[in-house]
Amino acid sequence: MKKIVFYNFIIFLIFLLIIELIFGYWFDENDFGFFVRNERLIEKYYKVKHHNKIYDVIYKRNFYGFRGEETEPNNIKIVFEGGSTGNQRFTPEKFTIVGSLNKAFMDDNIEIRIFNASTDGKTTRGYVNDFEKWFSKIKNFHPKIFIFYTGINDSYWFQKEKFDIGERTGIPERLADYIKNNSITAELLHRLYNKFFSFELTLKLKAEYNPNYIDEDLYKHYSYVNYDKAKKIFTRSGQSENDKNLINRFKNRLNNLDKIINEKKIIPIFITQIQYNGIGNINLFLINEELKDFAKNNNYYLIKLDEQIDNIGEGDYYDMNHTQILGSKKIADTIFPELKKILLKELQRNTN
């Protein structure tokens, strides 16, 4: 009896090995190694509240790691890069900034679709890692246009490096991540789990990035700081040593990204950012100004959201950095006219 069990187990292992060798990604160009382990094949279900209305959110990331439904890499022409403010995990996809932009193009009968590569916590340093360890692993992936929604995360001194690196350092952890990213068996089990067992009740959600846990004190003594007011409050001269170090760090990150831009010959579009009170934070003001200098000096496209938007008010954010549905639409509506001109110009140029 024991021999029969043993032999059956060996046969099962051989069968599993054959299946893995045929259908797995161990020797495939789509071998993601141990990177992007948390950004692929995700389908989570949340109940969240926006503007006192409950929404059922399906947070889905496809085989290649982009938010939304499956698509072939050669269909991806425009990529949106950002942190949690671009990812918007707890917002229905159609109501995110990227979703609203795509709807605006559809409403104008323009065949343009933006694919969302944003992940929570990512800074400009993380964009470089994406090109080196994520995008380079995707076969037939050659988008020419990248939109960088940049500022907030780079303005924080102690933003955790793990959000940018996307990989764990321990050998057992890396082995587990390697198996997860390349095993067809692990993929199928993951898909089954997502379909039947991944529903997360509202009470289980973390407070971080979650609109169910609105900061009740956020709008006490609220005052919106627009760009003109910020220029009077803050100055780029006479900065503290910490301010200078923050800017130097951001410069280095931008220079590293610039090398990728030139090497890959991509067309970058940068967008500055605001918080719930506009630009009431000196760090964000300084980062935005540095980004403007960088874009101008390199003749890159830049949409100055911080200077253009003027209709953000109470209730448009649920915490300092993350928008409610209405706030997302206001940002998308502000970005859209200029982004539309840029994209139509560049796409037409590429077809000529």
Q: What is the DSSP string of 113-128?
A: -EEE---TT--HHHHH
Local structure of 328: helix, strand or coil: helix
What pLDDT was estimated at residue 58?
A: 87
DSSP 134: I
DSSP 212: G
Q: Tokens 């970005």 — which residue?
A: 335
What pLDDT was estimated at residue 218?
A: 87
Report d(CA 210, CA 328) in Å as an integer.
15
What pLDDT was estimated at residue 137?
A: 86
Query: Which distant-in-sequence residues (6+ apart) come within 8 Å of 148 by Cβ?
Result: 81, 82, 124, 127, 257, 268, 269, 270, 271
Q: How far is CA 297 from the centre of its chain?
A: 26
Q: Which two tokens stand for residue 123?
A: 């800074």
Q: Tokens 């911080």 — which residue?
A: 306
Q: Cβ distance 144 to 107 under 8 Å?
A: no
Residues for the chain: how many in total? Answer: 352
Per-residue pLDDT of the chain (352 residues; tens, 9 = 90+): 666 766 566 666 666 566 655 555 655 555 565 456 667 778 888 888 888 888 888 899 998 999 999 999 999 999 999 999 999 999 999 999 999 999 999 999 999 999 999 999 999 999 999 998 899 889 899 999 999 999 999 999 876 655 566 555 555 655 556 666 666 666 666 566 655 555 544 434 444 456 666 667 888 889 999 999 999 998 766 578 888 899 999 999 999 999 999 999 999 999 999 999 999 999 999 999 999 999 999 999 999 999 999 899 999 999 999 999 999 999 999 999 999 999 999 988 876 5
Question: Among 25, 89, 82, which residue's Cα sits nearest to residue 55?
Answer: 89
Report d(CA 314, CA 323) in Å as an integer.
11
Report d(CA 347, CA 339) in Å as an integer.
12
Report d(CA 116, CA 86) in Å as an integer.
8
Q: Cβ distance 279 to 159 under 8 Å?
A: no
Q: Which two tokens stand for residue 72?
A: 């072939």
What one-character-per-residue DSSP string does 152-209 give? TGGG-TT--THHHH-S--SHHHHHHHHHHHH-HHHHHHHHHHHHHT-EE-GGGS-STT
What pLDDT was estimated at residue 203?
A: 36
Report d(CA 293, CA 245) in Å as an integer.
17
Beta bridge partners of 303: 271
Query: Which distant-in-sequence residues (6+ apart) come within 8 Å of 269 by Cβ?
Result: 145, 146, 147, 148, 300, 301, 302, 303, 339, 342
Domains and their CATH numbers in the chain: 71-167+212-351 (3.40.50.1110)
